[in-house]
A and B are shown apart, each in its own frame.
Chain A
Amino acid sequence: LAKTTQPISMDSYEGQEVNITCSHNNIATNDYITWYQQFPSQGPRFIIQGYKTKVTNEVASLFIPADRKSSTLSLPRVSLSDTAVYYCLVGGGYQKVTFGIGTKLQVIP
């Protein structure tokens, strides 16, 4: 299983772009990178998934360099409602899923 490392916490002001980087040096060829968002007392919610290069949806963008040893979740113009914990998962099919501690993002007014 690929081990992931991400910052424990981050602060950002409202309206700024936030980039959260996840390191996964031993990512396997068949592994995908997936990000989830969790609000207090709720289950995590899927945000975005990618394999290589860049993926964008209505919520976020995911940047993956060619060596795939890291990835960056980009949240454009954050608001107070983006305050949450963000988890980076790396893995393929039929493997145990590991969420880790995640990155606690605090958006400041």
Chain B
Amino acid sequence: DGGITQSPKYLFRKEGQNVTLSCEQNLNHDAMYWYRQDPGQGLRLIYYSQIVNDFQKGDIAEGYSVSREKKESFPLTVTSAQKNPTAFYLCASSQGQGAVYEQYFGPGTRLTVT
């Protein structure tokens, strides 16, 4: 089955700890994205990557970091510098980068930091 996997589904961390969210795709897509969603809000773009070893900041990159060492993987690290990290995190991929390309989303990771 082709698709995007995110793990874990739920994640709990103490304030001050860094945490890494996993995102893997087997769709052979070049582009990958990370979004954050807060209750009742839309999706906000954190980082995106057009190709391996390249990524760009989205609208709310502060306090987050990413890497794209493999085509299939785009992990997101939520650092202790992120002021309000509790949110629903969604990873997506598409054949190319941009709104014209259909994005395929993973099931999401709900992160709670206390």
Residues of A participating in the B interface, judged by any CB pair closer than 8 Å: 31-32, 34, 36, 41-46, 49, 85, 87, 89-102
Alpha-carbon distance between A101 and B56 when the two chains are bound, in angstroms: 22
Interface size class of B (residues with CB under 8 A): 20 to 34
Tell whether, in the assembled complex, residue B102 and residue A34 are in contact, meaning their CB atoms are under 8 Å apart: yes
Q: A34-B102, A99-B35 are in contact. Are A93 and B96 (CB under 8 A)?
A: yes
Could you pull out 18 A-B pairs where Cβ atoms are within 8 angstroms? A32-B99, A32-B100, A34-B100, A42-B108, A49-B100, A85-B42, A92-B100, A93-B96, A93-B97, A94-B50, A94-B97, A94-B98, A95-B99, A96-B58, A97-B103, A98-B45, A99-B42, A101-B42
Q: Tell whether, in the assembled complex, residue A49 and residue B102 are in contact, meaning their CB atoms are under 8 Å apart.
A: yes
Residues of A within 8 A of B110 (CB): 41
Checking A41, A90, A96, A101 against B108 with a beta-carbon cut-off of 8 angstroms, the contacting residue is A41
- Report how far A101 CA is from B43 CA in the complex, Å: 7
Q: Out of B43, B44, B56, B98, which one reaches A44, CB within 8 Å?
A: B43
The 7 closest A-B pairs by CB, nearest first: A43-B105, A91-B99, A93-B98, A99-B43, A101-B42, A46-B102, A32-B100
CB-CB under 8 A for A89 and B99, given A97-B33, A97-B45, A102-B42: yes
User: Which residue in A85, A95, A100 is a CB contact (below 8 Å) of B98?
Assistant: A95
A43 B108 Cβ-Cβ under 8 A: yes
Q: How far is the CA of A78 from the CA of B14 in the complex (A)?
A: 43
A94 vs B107: C-alpha distance when bound (angstroms): 25
A41 touches B88 (CB 8 A): yes
Cβ of B63 < 8 Å from any Cβ of A? no
